[in-house]
Structure 1
Amino acid sequence: MDYEHLTLGREEPLTDRHRQQDKRPRFKPADPRAHGAALAGRLGQARQRATEEDIGGFDDRKLLKIRLRAGDKSVPPFDAIPGVEIVSQEDESIVLAFATDEGLGEFESRLATLARDGVVTRKELFYVIEDFDHWTPQDRTGAALREQGFPATQTFMLDVELWPQERQDKRQEMVRAFLDWLHAQGIERLDDIQQPSLVMVRVRCNRAQAEQILHHRDVRTGDLPPRLGVAIQLLHTDINQFPQIDPPSDDAPAIAVLDSGLTRGHSLLGAAVGDAQGYLAPHRSSDDTAPHWHGTFVGGLALYGNVHSGIQQGQFVPQLRLFSGKVFEDDGQDQTEFVEKAVEEAVRDLHAQYGCRVFNLSYGDLNKVYDGRHVRGLAYTLDWLTRELGVLFVVPAGNLLSSQLPADTRASYPDYLFEGHARLLDPATSLNALTVGGLSLNEATRNAQRHPNTIEDHVLARAEQPFPLTRSGPSASGAIKPDVVAHAGNIALRRTGGGTDHAGLGVVSLNGGFALGPAFKEDIGTSYAAPQVAHQAARLLAEVPNASPSLLRALIGAHARWPQACEALLNPGNNAEGRDKLLRLVGYGRVDDAALFRSLDHTVTLLAEERVGNDQHHFFELPLPESFWDGGRRTREVTVALAYSPAVRTTRLDYRRTKLWFHLVTAGSLDEVTQAYRRNREEGMGERANGRWLPNDTRKNGTLQVSRWRFKQALANGHKVFVVVTRQDSPWSDGRDGDEPYAVAVVLADREQANAQLYAQVRAALQARAQARARARIGGRG
């Protein structure tokens, strides 16, 4: 039997979190006078270089690079000095600031005082400074441009990011001045986007003009535009064997695929497609006549989840309504419009017109390998759209190219996946999206299938091990990414001739060019892992129609598990290094949908959506019946997942405005727990470590946090189990967000108990608790 998931109510006691005092020792230089004199000299040099080397700017302020002393990660309040405005924190030790002549004069005056007297007003601001410099062309050179150099063509496209401006009038003034400067230099502007924390202009220029751009004061980075690659192998399957599909019901959940378009004439798609629109200028159409290879392939997986299974079963039954937004081309040609702009327009349109709440975006920019610093670009766009519109994005981790494999690939697998060049691609770093990495699928190439008695191509991965071209996390501040994994195919090293092959090893889906070929195709890549998870998320809306994107993520995370093949490969001996590698490649694991959509007699999912204020705790008592603990030693599991979608800012290393985390604790009563977390009790209660999968320090940096506890026997002294959710805002928060929404999913599992009736018993416990609360409210009014 299966049942609808149950709602978990929060306990009424609410306590404030004690704000911990900053106990770091204040640094004082051994010789303050010498420190002040040295900084004064460095400031003068930086000011001179900025004057001589920087060009342009929407005002006459100088851009200063302030290098902080090692160990000081937070941004000191330099903007307390008149005429100084903090622009961005670029890494743990570098702060950028705009400074007027007045501000520079104030800096110089205070440093002169420090050099003369050894003391100065706000001396801690100057003690923490190690050096002054200016933002150089090398600093402005993006990762892809640094690695590949300028294109050899006479002119080429460049993506130019300007310094974010929170005030709209300043942002508009800056962009207007920069566009005027481009025109004066003869540089062609192709597109621009203006968001509070992301301002970009795409240009066409020559080498000399590009070098001028890298000297412009208002330029944060210049980099090569996105690079896409799609390779598809034929899979011959006769479509005539399948019955005609019936359209999904009008109230079926919607899923939107933001991709290269959709060939809606495919017989396994047409009846399920609600609409297909184009969002690329100048042709705002989906161009139905073109064979949209990539978009149709992804769309088939988003609609059906497992196309291969449908072929085997001999039927396809769509349970979702499919919508398509064309936001990029799959022809490998340069695209003059920012994909960020097309994505935003498509999401707003499809959300407003059709109520689409789950969006698959199988896109990865090979020119934006995550450098461990800021989240920006498309990932930032997805993060703030998630929060503003209440939608869920599902994106791939990205793929390595076959040409990036090491010479000793066979011996190096999977170690090469942890190297710098194998890190996540934009937008996989998005904290509020679900990022999906790849698992291998098949192990026999076409050659091996044709010649089963001979040693043919050597596959790199065994089934359920990491896909050999997947990319690794983490994201900003060590956030676990990818969140989960799904099948992405496999690759093999050819026995003869060298190179790689994936024929017979790929994921199967629909062929956009079916008019000239078969109805199905095969391909590999995390682009095809993502829509499988997006399909699961959208199907959840049929069971939990009002679920927020945070609750969808929490449900997905709570039902994910590390594949045994991955554990055996990466975590021998269950050590911390192996655990870190698993998290970087497979996140929380592969989603097990056996009890994802509906609870079972032995596996019960509890749901909660709440809002919490800053520096507060919320408490949940888990309704574990006596039968959960009865019966001696056996494995019982409690899995907890927390998800939220905070406001973000690209100019701070502390990218999230709000931070939430949870602890699972055991105690004799709710009162014992709440007393431990009351104000002036910094330690709260220690989280239960016995039987725990992932500690809080490992999981808390992301906006999806999951851990699991295994209990072999009943708790001592009749103790109960509680989940405590805590909120702490980042120092740069202005407090204007109010209460922060979040979602919790808890999975209780007692799979080893024969004839378990856990669901019925948990439901009865929740009903009894609700009745007791109702009586208490009535008694209170009396």
Structure 2
Amino acid sequence: MPPPPSEKPFDHLPLVLTGSGDSRPRKPVVMDPNPITEGNKANRSGHASSLRTSSLAVAERWNESQAERVAAGLPSPEPGIPLLLQIDTAFDLDILRRQFSFEIVSEHDDGFVIVVSKDLDLSLIQQKFDEFEQEVYGSGSIAQIHELVNDETQEERLRRILTDQLLSEWPTLADDAEYVVDVSIACTGDWQIRNRLKRNPRWKPETWARKENDWSNDRLAAYERWDALKDSRLDDVEAMLAPYNVQVLNNWDNSDAKSVQLPDSFTLRIRTSGKGLRDFVLNYAYVWEVTEPDEIETPQQAARNLADLSAGLTFNAPSTNAPVVCIIDSGIQESHLYLEPAIRDFESKCFLEGATPTDVTDCVKPSGHGTRVAGVVLYGENVPKFGIVDLDCWIQNARVLDAHCKMPLTMLPAAVIRDVVSHFNRGKNPTRIFNHSINSAVASRTLHMSSWAAEIDQLCHDRDILVLQSVGNIRQSNPIPNPGVAEQLAAGKSYPDYLSEPASRIANPAQSLQALTVGSVAYDTVNAGGWQSLAKQGGEPSAFSRSGHGIWDTIKPEVVEYGGDYMIDGSTPPSVTYPAACASAYPILIGSTLHGEPAVTQDDVGTSYSTPKVARIAARLAAVMPTNSCLLYRALIIQSAQWPAWAESLPMHEQINILRRLGYGIPNMSRATENTQYRATFTTSSDQVLGTKQCHVFQIPIPAELRTPGGEYDIRIDVTLSYSATPRRTRRSPRGYLAVWLDWIASQCGESAGSFLNRALATEDDPVGDRNGELPWTLHPMTQHGLSGVRRNRGTVQKDWAIVKSNALPEDLSIAVRGHQGWSHDPDETASYAIAVTFEIVGQEIPIYEPLRTAVLDLQFVVEVEVEAEV
């Protein structure tokens, strides 16, 4: 049956699900034994004695400290002794809970983990030491505990709880000095959901029903205990801090509107004395992170004189059902000529503490910040000077920054963004696209996900929203340890090499796995008035744009857009700025006129302005695909991104830095939203759901007319997986951070559908297996293939691409998406995902859209008939 004509020319095409199944248990991985573990087994008596001595010393010291606090009239916290363990890196952390009843507080580098024992005498673990020494069956795991750190001053524990800055100040904390810090409290408990039973075929139906019901009740009880534990720990913390007149400035838990449903911790922002902070950190076992509040960084402003705005503009408001983009920023000049027709002023809200909810005006001098960001969403690169202007989307105004473009210390960013999203993402038509051009002033930390970034991840997963997040800016000049560009150049670090320095890493919360993180590139090289742009060609990274990788070596930023560049002069060392003489190197922006500045300016640069250009693409996707999910919007934006031609031609060892600075490249609205006769994009029509050890296989048939032996055309194939799952902050890897994690693999040339399904269900690729038929993927899931040291499957966006000669294409390309266990043991926990696959003929020699469309719709018809027959 011939496929029906397309409703619209060059629609995205369906990905056809042709197979699914549960993965088989993987073969045991034979690893080289850890020499320390083997040494402990060979010297059981010595190892047990060492652990026993350390544990007794730690317990005695902790109990003495708690007794002294009681004698001083201070409240007793929840019982528990914190222990710092160094373990074999292959050790299953869950054994610590099952065998020793430890609560796992946080995981750290080099095999260190902080746990808490409620057994104040540590009698259970002492018994385990005795059993290990006596070679009792089942006690061998003690050998994998390499050290129980006897930390008299708790310095080693503090080193893993405090930031570097707080650690350096710790010895000199003044008792009466005031400190504002964010403290994170673990609340994982020492229990877990037990595995769901497999049905015994000899059980009667009523027996199976009773066992299933018992398991469901136990599962529900476990979640209720976690909720109760959070409430109890919050009360406990407040009671412990009470003697020091501590002020809780903001909280981020599940007790009120500023809550988050993270399953393992909550965060408080407190103002306290040095004495109160010291007592709390040293004597509360469940605190796992103490950080300084983030200093918000936004681009500096500078007024420029440009031509007056031309007359004769007529604006048409967006249609009633047009997409909505919420600008989380410094407010907006809502009466602005260019903005007013698109502002939903009846929904605007100020979230600043001490301000009225209606105080939503952008007061940042001289030309605003949120006002500029909103203008970029509406107009992109094309700000009109005359004629009739049809606006494509609505703008919502969420003011969270003050007149100095700062967030007050009393506001916890994680709670703020939750408040904003909760306010706008509700009702019959909830807002789903949020532009967040706000960052910390310094590089993000790399061990644990911040509360700010984790909240974004949770909101995206729970509410199906898309947060467009800037990577942050490197200042023109700033002292060490957060050096600006001028200091980097003066130290002999040239552009763009200094972008790979740790101080240039993306800024919080850009490491969020779910946010679509955006960097900036330069328009072109500019030389004017004695000033020279640092970029030497268009598409090179902007001198201020922070770089990846992200946390846990995830690919961040995912995309980049044009945000301008810094200029340098000929002095030694050079001055760094963005002078008026080089305006052609800066984006055209809508500026606030409240302080006498022009309505259209070209006088500022920053990732704040590259980010809303991507929000503009998201809004267009929402317009043409209004019922699809934000996971698909994110996939299609990233799918549309490509590196500049000069980057594609670089040798592979240089492309590693391109990936760190440009991510997957510059997105394109046309590629994201539509096809041509030379390009066909296949997508899932709705979000798919996948649990642990499950697999879906999609198939794209490639018609023979595209594979003719005489044709040798370059075909670019792009694949992008976008997924979300429930996060957990206290773990130090993406697999421990997410409840379920996903990856994808592709079929090889000549591999049958059945063989590919069997390989996909085997859970893991064989890193040394046969790769003869594999497509030449750029990144690859294995670090030893593709770009060296890079794995495409580290984050919740996984893109790869390959260029194949048309006569070497397989008859079918199959893609398998696989689910793997993360932190959750709940068998009902799932991840949601969308996936996109694009075929594009690079030289446009022959049309490919219609042949591919016909082939896939034929396959879809066959699969639907088979499904109906089975039913």
TM-score (norm 1): 0.90
Structure 1 45/753 Cα, relative in aligned 2: closer, same or farther at 3 Å?
same
Q: Write the distance in 2 (CA, Å) between the matches of 1:658 and 1:618.
A: 15
1:424 aligns with 2:515: no
Maintained 8 Å contact 1:160/1:219? yes
Map 1:328-727 → 2, pairs under 5 A: 328-329=401-402, 331=404, 332=406, 334-353=408-427, 354-367=429-442, 369-402=443-476, 403=478, 404=483, 405=485, 406-408=488-490, 412-444=494-526, 448=528, 451=529, 455-457=530-532, 459=534, 462-495=537-570, 498-503=574-579, 504=583, 505-514=585-594, 516-521=596-601, 522-566=603-647, 572-575=650-653, 578-608=654-684, 609-630=687-708, 631-653=710-732, 654-665=736-747, 666-667=749-750, 669-677=752-760, 683=766, 686=771, 689-697=774-782, 698-715=791-808, 719-727=811-819
TM-score relative to the length of structure 2? 0.81
Shift of residue 535, structure 1, vs aligned partner: 1.4
Give how far 1:536 is off.
Answer: 0.8
Q: CA 1:48–1:239 in structure 2 vs 1: closer, same or farther (change >3 Å)?
A: farther
* Aligned mates of 1:4, 1:602 — CA distance in 2: 13
Mapped contact 2:525–2:537 kept (Cα < 8 A): yes
Kindly report the root-mean-square deviation, in angstroms, between the aligned alpha carbons of the 2 structures: 3.0
Q: CA deviation at 1:336?
A: 0.7
Deviation at 1:528, TM superposition (A): 1.8
Shift of 1:216: 4.0
Q: Specify whether residues 680 and 318 from structure 1 end up closer, same or farther in structure 2 by C-alpha distance, changes over 3 A only.
A: closer
Deviation of residue 238 (structure 1)?
2.5
Q: Which residue of 2 aligns with 1:750?
A: 841
Q: Alpha carbons of 1:738 and 1:168: their partners in 2 closer, same or farther (altered >3 Å)?
A: closer
What amino acid is aligned across from residue 287 of structure 1 in structure 2? D
Which runs of no fewer than 5 residues in structure 1 stay unpaired?
none
**Quick one: which of 210, 232, 236 aligns to 1:173?**
232
Change (3 A) 1:519 1:720: same
User: Are 1:192 and 2:251 matched, yes or no?
Assistant: yes
Amino acid across the alignment from 2:564 = G
Pairs within 5 Å for 1:131-150:
131-133=148-150, 136-146=157-167
The answer to whether structure 1 residue 220 and structure 2 residue 227 are counterparts is: no
- Unpaired runs of 5+ residues, structure 2, are 1-7, 70-74, 190-225, 254-259, 783-790
Q: After superposing the two structures, state which structure 1 stretch, 80-89 or 247-256, moved more.
A: 80-89
Cα contact 1:33–1:118 (8 A) shared by 2:
no
Measured in 2, the distance between the counterparts of 1:372 and 1:693 equals: 25
Q: Distance in 1 between matches of 2:562 and 2:76?
A: 48
Distance 1:299 1:681 in 2: 45
Structure 2 residue matching 1:727: 3-state secondary structure = strand
1:234 is matched with which residue?
303
Q: Identify the range of structure 1 (719-728 vs 162-171) with the bigger mean alpha-carbon deviation.
A: 162-171
CA distance in 1, matches of 2:625, 2:771: 33
Query: Structure 2 counterpart of 1:267, which letter?
Result: L
- Secondary structure of the 1:643 match is strand
Deviation of 1:143 after TM superposition, in Å, equals 3.9
Aligned equivalents of 1:393 and 1:366: distance in 2?
19
Alpha-carbon offset, residue 208 of structure 1: 4.0
Q: Structure 1, residues 592-651: CA drift from partner, whole Å, max 9, x if none? A: 233221111111111114223321222122132223223521211111111101111111
Question: 1:153-177: CA deviations, max 9, x gaps?
Answer: 9534222222344722222222222
SS in 1 for 2:390: coil
The answer for the alignment partner of 1:68 in structure 2 is 87
For 2:462 and 2:770, how far apart are their aligned partners in 1?
35
Counterpart pick for 1:740 among 798, 816, 831: 831
Q: What SS class does the counterpart of residue 335 from structure 1 fall into?
A: coil
Q: Does 1:42 align with 2:54?
A: yes
Query: What is the letter of the counterpart of residue 226 of structure 1?
Result: D
Structure-1 residue corresponding to 2:13: 6
Task: Tell me if structure 1 keeps the 8 A contact 2:699–2:814.
Answer: yes
The answer to whether the aligner puts 1:205 opposite 2:222 as a matched pair is no
Residues in 1 aligned to 2:173 and 2:587: alpha-carbon distance in whole angstroms = 34
**What do the CA deviations read for 1:320-345 (whole angstroms, capped 9, x no partner)?**
11112123335146331212112111
For 1:644 and 1:319, locate their aligned partners in 2 and report how far apart those are by CA, in whole Å: 28
Count of matched residue positions in the alignment of Structure 1 and Structure 2:
761
Cα distance in 1 between the residues matched to 2:47 and 2:393: 66
For 1:163-215, what per-residue CA distance to the aligned partner results, in whole angstroms no more than 9, with x for missing partners?
Answer: 34472222222222222333311232222211334422222234444444442
Structure 1 residues 224 and 780: alpha-carbon distance in aligned structure 2, compared to 1, 3 A threshold: closer
**CA distance 1:39–1:9, shift in 2 (3 Å):** same
Contact 2:698 2:816 in 1 (8 A): yes
Contact preservation (8 Å) 1:604, 1:748:
yes
Out of 79, 84, 87, the residue aligned to residue 97 of structure 2 is 79
SS of the aligned residue for 1:599 comes to coil
Residues 79 and 120 in structure 2, CA contact (< 8 A), matched pair in contact too: no
One-letter amino acid of the counterpart of residue 160, structure 2: D
Shift of 1:285: 1.7
1:189/1:202 contact within 8 Å kept: yes
- Return the alpha-carbon distance in structure 2 between the equivalents of residues 491 and 57 of structure 1: 56
Check the 8 A contact 2:363/2:402 in 1, yes or no: no
Q: Secondary structure at the match of 1:600?
A: coil
Q: For the structure 1 residues 343 and 679, does the alpha-carbon distance in structure 2 shift closer, same or farther, using more than 3 Å as the test?
A: closer
AA matched with 1:345 = D
CA 1:357–1:680 in structure 2 vs 1: closer, same or farther (change >3 Å)? Answer: closer
**Distance (Å, rounded) in 2 between the aligned partners of 1:484 and 1:613:** 29
Residue 393 of structure 2 aligns with an amino acid whose one-letter code is: L
CA contact (8 A) 2:18 2:863 kept: no
Letter in 2 for 1:46: V
Q: 1:76 to 1:676 in 2, by over 3 A?
A: closer
Which one of the candidate residues 122, 126, 138 is aligned to 2:139? 122
Residue identity in the other structure for 2:302:
Q
Asked if 1 retains the 8 angstrom alpha-carbon contact of 2:719 and 2:835, the reply is: yes
The 8 Å contact of residues 47 and 64 in structure 1, kept in 2 or not, is answered as no
Q: Give the Å deviation of 1:765.
A: 1.6
Question: Equivalents in 2 of 1:289, 1:681: separation in Å?
Answer: 54
Work out the CA distance in 2 between the residues paired with 1:74 and 1:357: 39
- Given the superposition, is the C-alpha separation of residues 288 and 610 from structure 1 closer, same or farther in structure 2, using an over 3 Å criterion? closer
2:851 to 749, 761, 767: 761
The Cα offsets for residues 257-307 of structure 1, whole Å up to 9 and x where unpaired, read as 11121211111111111232122333342414452522111111223333x
Give distance in 2, aligned partners of 1:543 and 1:343. Answer: 27
Match of residue 199 from structure 2: none
Rate the CA distance shift 1:15–1:737 in 2: closer, same or farther, 3 A: closer
Contact 1:386 1:392 in 2 (8 A): yes
Q: Distance in 2 between matches of 1:636 and 1:216?
A: 62
Secondary structure in 1 aligned to 2:724?
coil
Distance 2:312 2:550 in 1: 43
Cα deviation for residue 237 of structure 1 reads: 4.3
The 8 Å contact of residues 10 and 619 in structure 1, kept in 2 or not, is answered as yes
Amino acid at match of 1:19: R
